[in-house]
Amino acid sequence: MLELEGVNAFYDQSHILHDIGFSMEEGGRVAILGRNGAGKTTLLKSIMNAGPRVQGGIRFKSRALANASPDERARLGLAFVPEDRRVFGHLTSYENLKIAQYGASPEREKVPIDDLIGRFPMLVPLRNRPGSQMSGGQQQMLAVARGIAARPHIMLLDEPTEGLAPVIVAELAHEVAACCRDYGIGLLLAEQSIWFSRQCTERVLVIDTGRIVFSGSWQDFDENAERVQRHLAI
Ligand code: ATP
């Protein structure tokens, strides 16, 4: 479904990602762990062509993405949920979710918006509230739901737990895992929270200074805990 081979990414003269290679099967769910500044966001943005200059091969659904724009990648079935939320303040929750479906892959059956809202208890009373009148946590929840509304083949989810209270993190983990499973959405999750990542994914990549230093199942992760934790410790 998604394959990266020898991917390098740059911001101006800064070489951020080094020779990244991995692949994801259809419906696969993979976490990317790493410290602040390790390159997690840069990796998601490279897949989306949303910022860094990228060299190397990125293939999605057996097609080389080369210079495809972010919009084209969205229509092919990739959805990027950035860390900074970017919900539309003048639109209600319902409208924010609806609008996410316009640029999405036309070959995928649409997720019914009211069903989706019903899966996020926090959003139910906010159905008709404009984004600008929501708390940061509520906007965060809406941003994640918007990624799901597009029903992508793969959702690229960037640090969704940042700034959320623990009880909301637990709720979000449950909802992300259930929606990905029930709607057939693959997940590439950049996170600092090992707990959250474990709830939502089956495989894990660890990156350190722009290089993949570990790749395996969560069982492999536990079996190599000492070595892997060195790359995650601050
Ligand atoms: P965080 O958890 O802090 O979001 P991250 O693992 O997502 O960290 P990135 O945001 O990908 O890390 O950053 C990787 C490196 O790229 C860092 O050294 C960062 O300073 C640099 N970087 C990120 N964005 C830019 C940019 N727009 N221009 C120049 N350098 C950047």
CB of residue 46 inside a 6 A radius of ligand 1: no
How far, in Å, from the CA of 206 to the mean position of ligand 1?
15
In this structure, which residue's CA is closest to atom 30 in ligand 1?
A: 11
pLDDT one digit per residue (tens) for the chain, 234 residues: 999 999 999 999 999 999 999 999 989 999 999 999 999 999 999 999 998 999 999 999 989 998 899 999 999 999 999 987 788 999 999 999 999 998 778 888 889 999 999 999 999 999 999 999 999 889 999 999 999 999 999 999 999 998 888 988 999 999 999 999 999 999 999 999 999 999 999 999 999 999 999 999 999 999 999 899 889 876
Which contacts of 125-130 are long-range, i.e. CB under 8 A and separated by 24 or more positions?
126/93, 127/92, 127/93, 127/94, 128/92, 128/93, 128/94, 129/92, 129/93, 130/89, 130/90, 130/91, 130/92
Superfamily of segment(s) 2-229: P-loop containing nucleotide triphosphate hydrolases (3.40.50.300)
Ligand 1 centre distance from Cα of residue 66 (Å): 22
How far is ligand 1, taken at its centre, from the CA of residue 161, in Å? 18
Going by CA atoms, what residue is nearest to atom 1 of ligand 1?
36
Does the beta carbon of 11 lie inside 6 Å of ligand 1? yes
- The pLDDT assigned to 205 comes to 97
Domains of the chain, by residue range, sit at 2-229
CA 14–ligand 1 middle distance (angstroms): 10
Distance in Å, CA 42 to ligand 1 centroid: 6
Any atom of ligand 1 within 6 Å of the Cβ of 39: yes
Which tens digit of pLDDT belongs to each residue from 59-96?
A: 999 899 988 999 999 999 999 999 877 889 999 999 99
**pTM, full prediction:** 0.94
Strands 203-208 and 186-191: unpaired
Closest Cα to atom 29, ligand 1: which residue? 11
Q: How far, in Å, is the centroid of ligand 1 from the Cα of 220? A: 27
